[in-house]
């Protein structure tokens, strides 16, 4: 086997440029003992241009890439994201109005030697009405008060609250592109029209009108839903999740703020509707709002009416973009000398912003497992098994939001609770959690994108019932836990006083 000296990345969206920059940074580029990395992208085929919410792992990725946090915030119209607020997911809105719960990014507070708070919350030690996310972290209070997760004096990518970002997807791809090129990635504009295979079934060349044949030792398919290499050329089977996760369309709009100094929410607002849910993301200069829905439960014109009613007058002069989604993943992400990163490898709908997180994982794995000596088969096998399991776990986590609903007002919600739409693994986990709460031992950490606390926040936000009445003897630290919950509330007040408002933080970082 010949060592890998050349990598060709096809596609210049978030997946392509993030992978290019990450590999340039971690493998090094040619001339410095590394590899030649070339990215070819079409000027005729646009990027998907949505994907504005992220997961906290993005901070580690941006830091590894060597991007300054203030530059990132300024150039991508970025804001901070401290979690997701889920509105009307458990119950349909009624005469009493809406209900909501919060999935914060900060872990439940855990003082060294202190009790694990979840079982004590289940036993009522935080009070009858306190939601778990509110009782166990300061973050919900901070986010509700429209304050940011960090102070200006905190270092890059650091802060007292765990956080991710919202950003403009087009501007993000632009920043990643400039940065990757500054790290030595070569850039070609060209549309791949044909892919040829060699006698072993590996990619021999990709052909563009502009550059003729382009050849490499390793090809990375970042062509989005088109999956030109991994799907069309190599025929990797697509494992559809449409019978479990029903949404397959999205309408997206860019909505101006009513006033230039309006507060910016530091969380995504996800509101359940009759056949899906809307996202509402506050960027620095505008909001990104969209409706993700199931075409088997509604039609496009009704979906647009729902989106317009949700946004109100601010949508009057706006025209939505419509997007078709293929929810599922490739059985094999890496075949011979080609690996898929991004939408070409799979997509588990946007509910918990897993798209970019899965790109980060794939780029990291390609770099870490990189078969320098050219022996790709064992690496491909490991990569495929790892990525498949990650996608399965993300799919279970997302499905959990739907299948625990108590809504019966529309077929979409009813169908989402059908046992046949729930995987065996998720069903078994939910069954175990009826008599004990989720624990880190339920999870193989490296295969999970979401930590156990995320599962806990969503599970109990969805009003799941865990009955501890027969195991109270296992929890003797009631008084300590009660004091701990009271302390968290006091600390939350202090945190709100100590942290700047979200808009002030973003404005100040942009002015740096």
Ligand X SMILES: Cc1cc2nc3c(=O)[nH]c(=O)nc-3n(C[C@H](O)[C@H](O)[C@H](O)COP(=O)(O)OP(=O)(O)OC[C@H]3O[C@@H](n4cnc5c(N)ncnc54)[C@H](O)[C@@H]3O)c2cc1C
- Least distance from C-beta 233 to ligand X, angstroms? 11
Q: Residue 119 or residue 288: which is nearer to ligand X going by CB?
A: 288
- Least distance from C-beta 84 to ligand X, angstroms? 10
Give the integer Cα–Cα distance in Å for 349 and 367. Answer: 26
287 phi and psi angles, rounded to 5 deg: -105, 150
Give the integer Cα–Cα distance in Å for 505 and 511. Answer: 10
Strand spans (E) along 180-325 = 186-189, 192-197, 203-208, 212-214, 218-221, 238-240, 249-256, 268-273, 276-282, 286-293, 321-324
Give the integer Cα–Cα distance in Å for 350 and 327. Answer: 10
Q: Residue 327 or residue 376: which is nearer to ligand X going by CB?
A: 327
Give the integer Cα–Cα distance in Å for 168 and 43. Answer: 19
Beta strand 100-104 with 192-197: parallel, antiparallel or unpaired?
A: unpaired
Going by the DSSP 8-state scheme, the letter that residue 443 receives in this structure is S
Going by the DSSP 8-state scheme, the letter that residue 131 receives in this structure is -
Tell the burial category of 419 from Cβ atoms under 10 Å away from its Cβ (0-12, 13-18, 19+). exposed
- Contact between 436 and 377 under an 8 Å Cβ cutoff? The reply is no
Can you count the helices (H) and strands (E) in the chain?
Answer: 15, 21
Beta strand 83-87 with 100-104: parallel, antiparallel or unpaired?
A: antiparallel
Q: Residue 224 or residue 438: which is nearer to ligand X going by CB?
A: 224
Give the integer Cα–Cα distance in Å for 278 and 46. Answer: 24
- Least distance from C-beta 438 to ligand X, angstroms? 24
- Least distance from C-beta 14 to ligand X, angstroms? 4
Q: Residue 38 or residue 54: which is nearer to ligand X going by CB?
A: 54
Q: Residue 15 or residue 117: which is nearer to ligand X going by CB?
A: 15
- Least distance from C-beta 21 to ligand X, angstroms? 13
Q: Residue 40 or residue 363: which is nearer to ligand X going by CB?
A: 40
Q: Residue 23 or residue 488: which is nearer to ligand X going by CB?
A: 23
Q: Residue 180 or residue 250: which is nearer to ligand X going by CB?
A: 250
- Least distance from C-beta 355 to ligand X, angstroms? 3
Q: Residue 83 or residue 342: which is nearer to ligand X going by CB?
A: 342
- Least distance from C-beta 223 to ligand X, angstroms? 4
- Least distance from C-beta 80 to ligand X, angstroms? 15
- Contact between 276 and 292 under an 8 Å Cβ cutoff? The reply is yes
- Contact between 95 and 182 under an 8 Å Cβ cutoff? The reply is no
Q: Residue 50 or residue 218: which is nearer to ligand X going by CB?
A: 50
Q: Residue 38 or residue 223: which is nearer to ligand X going by CB?
A: 223
- Least distance from C-beta 220 to ligand X, angstroms? 11
311 phi and psi angles, rounded to 5 deg: -80, -35
Q: Residue 119 or residue 224: which is nearer to ligand X going by CB?
A: 224
Give the integer Cα–Cα distance in Å for 21 and 38. Answer: 11
Cβ-based neighbours of 93, under 8 Å, separated by 6 or more: 99
The 203-208 sheet, strands edge to edge: 192-197, 203-208, 212-214
380 phi and psi angles, rounded to 5 deg: -60, -40
Q: For residue 266, give the nearest of 505, 77, 79, 103 by alpha carbon.
A: 79
Q: Across-strand partners of 238?
A: 330
Q: Which residues bind ligand X (CB under 6 A)?
A: 10-16, 40-42, 45, 47-48, 50-54, 169, 191-192, 222-224, 226, 228, 250, 290, 292, 323, 325, 342-343, 350, 353, 355-356, 359
- Least distance from C-beta 193 to ligand X, angstroms? 7
- Opening angle at CA 64, ends 350 and 356, nearest 5: 10
Q: Which helix (H) or strand (E) holds 394?
A: helix 376-403
CB hemisphere CA count around 6 (13 angstroms) = 9
Q: Residue 222 or residue 426: which is nearer to ligand X going by CB?
A: 222
- Least distance from C-beta 74 to ligand X, angstroms? 21
- Least distance from C-beta 38 to ligand X, angstroms? 12
- Least distance from C-beta 510 to ligand X, angstroms? 22
């Amino acid at each position: 086997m010949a060592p890998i000296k050349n990598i060709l990345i096809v596609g210049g969206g978030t997946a392509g440029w993030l992978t290019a920059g990450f590999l340039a940074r971690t493998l090094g580029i040619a001339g410095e003992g590394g590899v030649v990395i070339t990215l070819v992208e079409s000027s005729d085929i646009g990027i998907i241009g949505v994907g504005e919410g992220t997961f906290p792992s993005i901070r580690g990725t941006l830091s590894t890439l060597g991007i300054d946090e203030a530059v990132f915030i300024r150039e991508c119209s970025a804001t901070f994201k401290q979690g997701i607020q889920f509105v009307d997911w458990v119950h349909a809105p009624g005469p009493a109005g809406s209900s909501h719960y919060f999935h914060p990014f900060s872990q439940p507070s855990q003082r060294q030697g202190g009790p694990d708070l979840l079982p004590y919350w289940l036993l009522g030690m935080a009070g009858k009405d306190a939601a778990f996310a509110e009782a166990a972290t300061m973050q919900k209070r901070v986010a509700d008060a429209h304050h940011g997760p960090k102070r200006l004096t905190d270092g890059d990518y650091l802060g007292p609250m765990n956080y991710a970002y919202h950003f403009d997807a087009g501007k993000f791809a632009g920043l990643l592109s400039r940065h990757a090129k500054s790290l030595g990635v070569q850039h070609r504009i060209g549309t791949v029209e044909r892919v040829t295979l060699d006698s072993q079934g590996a990619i021999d060349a990709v052909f563009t009108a502009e550059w003729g044949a382009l050849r490499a030792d390793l090809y990375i398919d970042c062509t989005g839903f088109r999956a030109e290499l991994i799907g069309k050329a190599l025929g990797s089977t697509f494992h559809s999740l449409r019978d479990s996760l029903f949404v397959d369309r999205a309408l997206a709009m860019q909505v101006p703020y009513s006033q230039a100094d309006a507060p910016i929410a530091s969380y995504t607002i996800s509101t359940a509707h009759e056949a899906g849910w809307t996202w509402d993301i506050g960027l620095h200069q505008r909001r990104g709002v969209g409706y993700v829905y199931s075409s088997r439960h509604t039609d496009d014109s009704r979906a647009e009416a729902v989106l317009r009613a949700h946004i109100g007058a601010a949508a009057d002069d706006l025209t939505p973009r419509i997007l078709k989604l293929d929810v599922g993943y490739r059985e094999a992400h890496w075949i011979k000398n080609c690996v898929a990163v991004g939408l070409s490898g799979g997509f588990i709908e946007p509910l918990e912003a897993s798209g970019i997180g899965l790109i980060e994982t794939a780029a990291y794995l390609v770099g870490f497992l990189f078969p320098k000596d050219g022996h790709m088969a064992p690496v491909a096998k490991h990569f495929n098994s790892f990525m498949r399991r990650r996608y399965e776990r993300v799919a279970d986590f997302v499905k959990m939001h739907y299948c625990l609903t108590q809504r019966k007002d529309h077929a979409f919600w009813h169908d989402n609770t059908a046992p046949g739409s729930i995987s065996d693994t998720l069903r078994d986990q939910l069954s175990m959690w009826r008599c004990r709460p989720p624990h880190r031992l339920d999870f193989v950490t490296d295969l999970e994108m979401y930590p156990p606390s995320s599962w806990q926040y969503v599970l109990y936000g969805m009003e799941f019932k865990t009955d501890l009445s027969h195991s109270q003897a296992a929890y003797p630290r009631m008084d300590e836990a009660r004091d701990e919950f009271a302390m968290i509330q006091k600390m939350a007040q202090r945190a709100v006083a100590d942290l700047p408002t979200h808009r002030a933080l973003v404005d100040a970082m942009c002015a740096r």
